[in-house]
Amino acid sequence: MSEAGSGDGAPGAGPVAAPSLLNIANALTVVRLLLVPVCVAFLAAGGTSYRYVAFAAFAVASMTDLADGELARRRNLITDFGKIADPIADKALTGSALVTLSVLGELAWWVTIVILARELAVTLLRFWVIRRGVIAASRGGKIKTLLQIIAISLYILPWAIPVERELLMGAAVVVTVATGIDYTVRAIHLHRAVPHGLARSDSANGDSAPSEADSIAPAPTGDSPGGPGSGGRGAL
């Protein structure tokens, strides 16, 4: 993949230099990865104080998820490392929290399985269509991520609010499944719309597989501005 910062600049200007691997956006992604085991360890330890520490780690990690993508787009800090590490960090954070809660018997396993299966399916679909284009992040994907973060946070916090937890997690599951279906439909349409021979021809001419910063797949109406050009840092 080519760096999102590569390419032609303004008319008459030379090529824009690729961003350095060592930048604030990638640093925040690494911090999020490092906070995953911290959250899991304190969550599994039990006890009110440990629960608050686990929540703090989860909250800070979630905020880095919002910050690194915004910084990467605004400051042209999108790198190949960020495109790969960012979604891995996202899945690791929510996935580890869900699995730990299920192991502790506080969250039904079917909820964790449904959410993780959806995330895995979307990841596989992205690889399936990557030679034909990239599907922009949708507003539904961002809502899904927000609902998951809020719901997981309520389960982590040592508060006696079972009804609120179940309602929020139920909403998160519904939106997670719905956006997964939407992404599947869009991926199939993209796969059919762009001939495989054309994609292979582009590759043979030296073009790299399209990055999320070079999306050729139009986002559906209502998508947020942060979708196209997110360089792999958008919510799906």
pLDDT of residue 118: 93
Q: How far apart are CA 8 and CA 23, in angstroms?
A: 22
CB of 152 within 8 A of CB of 98?
yes
Distance from C-alpha of 66 to C-alpha of 183, rounded to nearest angstrom: 21
207 DSSP assignment = P
> Residue 24: its pLDDT value, please?
83
Residues with Cβ within 8 Å of residue 89, at least 6 apart in sequence: 29, 32, 33, 36, 61, 65
SS3 content of the chain, % helix, strand, coil (to 5): 65, 0, 30
Biggest CA-to-CA distance, the chain: 63
Q: What is the pLDDT of residue 234?
A: 60
Q: What is the DSSP letter of 210?
A: P
Residue 23 DSSP class: S
Q: Low-confidence residues of the chain, pLDDT below 70?
A: 1-18, 137, 195-235
Q: State residue 95's pLDDT score.
A: 95
pLDDT at position 232 is 53
Q: What is the pLDDT of residue 222?
A: 35
**Domain layout of the chain by residue ranges:** 24-214
- Residue 153 CA to residue 54 CA, distance in Å, equals 9
Report the pLDDT value the prediction gives residue 165, as an integer from 0 to 100: 95
Residue 225: how many other CB atoms lie within 10 Å: 10
CB 59: neighbour CB atoms within 10 A? 16
**Token pair in block for residue 164:** 């609120």
Structure confidence at residue 67 (pLDDT): 77
Identify the CATH class of 24-214: mainly alpha
CA 100-170-90 angle, 5° bins: 50
Tokens matching residue 168 = 């929020």
